[in-house]
Structures are given as structure tokens and as C-alpha cells.
């Protein structure tokens, strides 16, 4: 029995566009983000999802709502799918973080835990999102589950789910807005990565999700 799990990053926001650290700040989709969600939803609707789960932050919840509107499938919400908590960084541009908190920024760029600034650790992020993904997949064993979440949360959560070391997770480029990851789960091999950074349209590369 194969369960298919699609992990979907939310659409664009004004803070994405200005390279501002969102973290768990509840920033809404902008006009582009709503268009991206509608375009992606048309493709994802063809998978006939048996369940849709979303982070309760508006940018993810509204992205999931676009798919719900096409499929009639209700959305359930899980706060464990929220983006990484970035503490004192939230609301700052990445350029400001680099200029005013250079040691913390250097550790983040190197893929290490940030020391200071009350930023959530990578292990804590990976575990809480992975647990949420496991619970979401259990809603429809042998079916299709779509989860709307956030960039850093998606990458760290799926890496934890797959049992990858941190160094291997860093080989994955940042998920583009409204792109997704496809995983499958079977009794024998367990979780396997099927596709990464799939989307309805091509975009220019983006900096790592924050």
C-alpha cells in the first residue's frame, strides 16, 4: 500500500519579495502569491487528494485554500507545520541581519545552528515538522495527502523524515514559492523522495527560505 505525500511551499509574499525574514510572523500572500497558488492548485487537483493539511499561518493556509476550492476537500491545520522560528531576526532583511548580527548570520549560511537571537534549532524544526508530516500521512493511508507549509520547514522536515544527516539536507536547494516535494511511503522501503521543486511555472533561483 503506497501513500503519496506532497509537501507544498506557500505562494509569494511581500516579505519574500523584499528578502525579509518571516519566520513565524503571519504575513499574507501578495497578488503574485495568490496567482501562484491558483496555478499550482490546478495541477495538484489532478492528484485527487484524500486530505489537505496546512500550517495555520495565513500564507500557507490561503495557499491550501486554493486547492480546497477546486477539490472540495476541507483543510485541516497543524501549527507544527509553521516556519522555523527566527526570533530576533523576524522582520529584518537578510542584509540587515548580515550587517548587525554577523556571527549569527555566518553560522546560518554555513548550515549550523544559530547561537543567539532565539532562533529555533534545526533539530527541533526537523522533528516537529517531521512529526506533523507523519501524522498528516496517517490521515489517508494508501491515498494522497497534500501539506501546505513553508520553505525551511519543508526542507528540514522532509530531511528528518528521510533520516538524512544535516550535510545531505544542505544539498537540496531552497524550494521556490508554490513548488512542492513528492514522497511515497511503502511498508518495505519506508519513505522515499520521488521529486523535488516541482511547480506550475519556472522562476529565477531564490535565496534560502526564511
Q: Which of 179, 185, 169 is nearest to 203 (CA)?
A: 179
**What is the Cα 172 distance to its own chain's centre?**
13
Summarize the annotated binding site as residue ranges. 9-16, 59
Q: Kindly name the residue from 31, 34, 39, 83 that is annotated as catalytic.
A: 83
Annotated binding site for substrate: 9-16, 59
Q: Chain centroid to CA 87: how far?
A: 18
On whether the CB atoms of residues 84 and 93 are closer than 8 A, the answer is: no
Q: Is 160 a catalytic residue?
A: no
Whether 167 sits among the annotated catalytic residues: the reply is no
∠ CA 139-179-146, rounded to 5°: 10
Out of 10, 150, 160, 185, the active site residue is: 10
Place of cell 550587517: 99
**Residues with a known catalytic role:** 10, 83
Amino acid at each position: 500500500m503506497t501513500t503519496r505525500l506532497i509537501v507544498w511551499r506557500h505562494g509569494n509574499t511581500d516579505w519574500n519579495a523584499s528578502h525579509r525574514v518571516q519566520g513565524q510572523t503571519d504575513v499574507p500572500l501578495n497578488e503574485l502569491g495568490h496567482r501562484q497558488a491558483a496555478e499550482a492548485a490546478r495541477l495538484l487537483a489532478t492528484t485527487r487528494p484524500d486530505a489537505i493539511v496546512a500550517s495555520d499561518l495565513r500564507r500557507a493556509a490561503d495557499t491550501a485554500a486554493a486547492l480546497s476550492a477546486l477539490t472540495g476537500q476541507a483543510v485541516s491545520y497543524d501549527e507544527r507545520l509553521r516556519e522555523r522560528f527566527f526570533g530576533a531576526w523576524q522582520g529584518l532583511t537578510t542584509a540587515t541581519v548580515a550587517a548587525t548580527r554577523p556571527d549569527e548570520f555566518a553560522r546560518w549560511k554555513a548550515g549550523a545552528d544559530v547561537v543567539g537571537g532565539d532562533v529555533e534549532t534545526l533539530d527541533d524544526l526537523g522533528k516537529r515538522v517531521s512529526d506533523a508530516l507523519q501524522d498528516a500521512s496517517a490521515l489517508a493511508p494508501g491515498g494522497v495527502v497534500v501539506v501546505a507549509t513553508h520553505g525551511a520547514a519543508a526542507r528540514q522536515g522532509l530531511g528528518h523524515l528521510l533520516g538524512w544527516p544535516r550535510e545531505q539536507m544542505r544539498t537540496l536547494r531552497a524550494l521556490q514559492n508554490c513548488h512542492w516535494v513528492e514522497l511515497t511511503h511503502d511498508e518495505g522501503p519506508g519513505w522515499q523522495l520521488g521529486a523535488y521543486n516541482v511547480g506550475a511555472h519556472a522562476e529565477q533561483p531564490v535565496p534560502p527560505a526564511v
